[in-house]
């Protein structure tokens, strides 16, 4: 899902940077308001988790591969704004140091993986699981659905962004200047792979890790996106 | 401190990360301009122009010029370590501007709630 440099026309990656700038700004404001030095490492850990989980390439039939993102898990535990920051940071390091995803496409990649994925996951989880602090069956179903649906929404957005390239940027002779495959092809390939495989992986990671973190009380969970690392058992019991 | 377990989890994931190399195929739609050219019969001009805009030192999570398998695994491990290390360091710097210890708005409310409960 990491769009490289050269795949997107400037009239695509420009506006997507434009969309992301206010979101990054708002996220950083939000974090300044809700975090302090003590719980900032959680954000760093979440970012590192997203970075490393994306290194686990999974081969699928057809000779290609892909991976989970971890956005849904982070959104459920730390909230969507924290997820936006931590996944963006992972994507930035991937692009700058490892050439995974382009510099010009960083806005686009953040839009799909650090915005669409965590925000959809967060609201899907809240809708299904409610605000209860207990990690019971509803929470599990919510986490599983959030993982599956959110990565698929991100995949679909990626497919749309790539697939519109031959429609909006062609040379004088009508040859595509950037990514040449049509919408039909990109949607079939990218959404197909995520609906069948990577969605399941993201779903499993989301439900298993959030369940483990809740059960083991490594973190005190008080409903989605509401970890209070400072007040340990108190929130679990009171809410 | 239980948070140590989280760091341990990340370290374990980093050590296991070369499992990701078992997948030999690249992700769909993450090819070079040349590869795309082979597939569709022409190299899109814009792709060629922009593709090498940025030089990534560890492109593809590989050490430059590491042909053999063992070096590839080593490069992947090193990449995981560097990536995670960089992220932790960047957040450390970002944390400088944050308040030390005092609970922020929301945790303050929670602390109050917790106290009432007791």
Q: Cα–Cα distance between A194 and A43 in angstroms, integer? A: 26
Please say whether the beta carbons of B87 and A95 come within 8 A: no
ipTM above 0.85, yes or no: yes
Q: Cα–Cα distance between A60 and A64 in angstroms, integer? A: 6
Mutate to test the interface with A, among B22, B29, B41, B54 (most CBs of A within 10 A): B29
Mean pLDDT of A2-14: 96
Instruction: Establish if A4 belongs to a structural domain.
Output: no
- Supply the angle between the helices A199-216 and A137-163 in degrees, to the nearest 10: 140
**What is the per-residue pLDDT for A228?**
42
Instruction: Establish if A98 belongs to a structural domain.
Output: yes
Collapsing DSSP to helix, strand or coil, A58 comes out as strand
Mutate to test the interface with A, among B1, B24, B50 (most CBs of A within 10 A): B50
**What is the per-residue pLDDT for B25?**
80
Q: Cα–Cα distance between B110 and B98 in angstroms, integer? A: 19
Instruction: Establish if A5 belongs to a structural domain.
Output: no
**What is the per-residue pLDDT for A88?**
98
Residue A51: pLDDT band with limits 50, 70, 90: very high
Instruction: Establish if A1 belongs to a structural domain.
Output: no
Mean pLDDT of B91-109: 70
Please say whether the beta carbons of B29 and A189 come within 8 A: yes
Q: Which residues contact B109 (CB under 8 A, 6 or more apart)?
A: none
Q: Quick one: A22 exposed, middle or buried, by C-beta within 10 A (0-12, 13-18, 19+)?
A: exposed
- Contacts of residue B25 in chain A, CB cutoff 8 Å? 59-60, 62-65
Which CATH number is A114's domain given? 1.10.1760.20
- Contacts of residue B95 in chain A, CB cutoff 8 Å? 37, 40-41
**What is the per-residue pLDDT for B103?**
52
Task: Find residue B27's DSSP bridge partners.
Answer: A65
CB contact under 8 A, B101 and A36: yes
Q: From the CB of residue A43, how many other CB atoms can be counted at a distance below 10 Å?
A: 22
Please say whether the beta carbons of A145 and A123 come within 8 A: no
> Which whole-number Å values give the CA distances from A32 to A47, A76, A81, A85, in the listed order?
17, 19, 11, 12
Q: Cα–Cα distance between B9 and A57 in angstroms, integer? A: 18
Task: Find residue A58's DSSP bridge partners.
Answer: A66
Q: Quick one: A57 exposed, middle or buried, by C-beta within 10 A (0-12, 13-18, 19+)?
A: buried
Q: Is A175 on the interface with B (CB under 8 A)?
A: yes
**What is the per-residue pLDDT for A136?**
84
**What is the per-residue pLDDT for A100?**
95
Q: Given a cut of 80, is residue B57 above it in pLDDT?
A: yes
Minimal CA separation from A48 to chain B, in Å: 5
Structural domain range at position A193: 10-238
Residue B85: pLDDT band with limits 50, 70, 90: very high
For chain A, give the mean pLDDT: 89
Phi-psi region of A79 (alpha: psi -120 to 50; beta: other; left: phi over 0): left
User: How many domains does the structure of chain A reveal?
Assistant: 1
The full set of domain ranges for chain B reads: 31-57, 62-98
Instruction: Establish if A168 belongs to a structural domain.
Output: yes
Residue B27: pLDDT band with limits 50, 70, 90: confident
Mean pLDDT of A30-49: 87
Mutate to test the interface with A, among B9, B34, B37, B44 (most CBs of A within 10 A): B44
Please say whether the beta carbons of B18 and A53 come within 8 A: no
Window from A144-153, A182-191, B100-109 with minimum mean pLDDT: B100-109
Would you state the structure tokens that stand for residue A123, as one six-digit string?
A: 């609201």
Q: Is B75 on the interface with A (CB under 8 A)?
A: no
Please say whether the beta carbons of A100 and A94 come within 8 A: yes
Q: What are phi and psi of A171, to 5 degrees?
A: -75, 180
Percent share of chain B, pLDDT over 70: 83
Residue A116: pLDDT band with limits 50, 70, 90: very high
Q: Cα–Cα distance between A99 and A219 in angstroms, integer? A: 34
Report the relative pairing of strands A65-66 and A58-59 from DSSP bridges: antiparallel
- Contacts of residue B102 in chain A, CB cutoff 8 Å? 36
User: What's the angle, vertex CA A165, arms to CA A161 and CA A168, rounded to 5?
Assistant: 120
Nearest to A152 by CA among A51, A72, A236: A72
Collapsing DSSP to helix, strand or coil, A148 comes out as helix
């Amino acid at each position: 899902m990491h769009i490289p440099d050269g795949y997107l026309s400037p009239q695509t990656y420009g506006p997507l940077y434009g969309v992301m700038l206010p979101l990054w700004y708002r996220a950083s404001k939000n974090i300044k308001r809700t975090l302090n030095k003590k719980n900032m490492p959680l954000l760093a850990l979440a970012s590192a988790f997203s970075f490393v989980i994306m290194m686990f390439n999974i081969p699928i039939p057809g000779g290609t591969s892909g991976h989970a993102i971890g956005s849904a898990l982070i959104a459920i535990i730390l909230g969507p704004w924290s997820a936006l920051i931590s996944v963006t940071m992972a994507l930035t390091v991937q692009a700058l140091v490892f050439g995974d995803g382009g510099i010009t496409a960083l806005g686009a990649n953040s839009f799909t993986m650090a915005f669409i994925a965590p925000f959809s996951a967060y609201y899907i989880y809240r809708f299904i699981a409610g605000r209860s602090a207990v990690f019971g069956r509803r929470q599990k179903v919510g986490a599983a659905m959030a993982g599956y649906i959110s990565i698929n929404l991100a995949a679909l957005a990626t497919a749309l962004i790539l697939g519109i390239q031959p429609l909006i940027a062609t040379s004088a002779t009508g040859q595509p200047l950037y990514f040449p495959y049509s919408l039909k092809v990109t949607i079939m390939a990218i959404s197909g792979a995520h609906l069948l495989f990577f969605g399941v992986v993201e779903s499993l990671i989301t439900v298993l890790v959030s369940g483990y973190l809740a059960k083991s009380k490594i973190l005190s969970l008080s409903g989605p996106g509401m970890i209070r690392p400072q007040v340990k058992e108190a929130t679990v019991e009171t809410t | 401190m239980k948070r140590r377990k989280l760091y341990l989890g990340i370290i374990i994931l980093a050590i296991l990360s070369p499992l990701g190399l078992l997948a030999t195929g690249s992700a769909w739609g993450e090819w070079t301009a040349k590869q795309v050219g082979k597939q569709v019969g022409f190299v899109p001009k814009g792709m060629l122009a922009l593709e090498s805009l940025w030089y990534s030192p560890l492109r593809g999570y590989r050490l430059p010029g590491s042909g053999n398998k063992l070096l590839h695994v080593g490069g992947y491990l090193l990449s995981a370590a560097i990536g995670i290390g960089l992220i932790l360091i960047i957040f450390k710097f970002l944390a400088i501007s944050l308040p030390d210890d005092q609970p922020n708005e929301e945790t303050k409310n929670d602390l109050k709630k917790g106290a009432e409960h007791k």
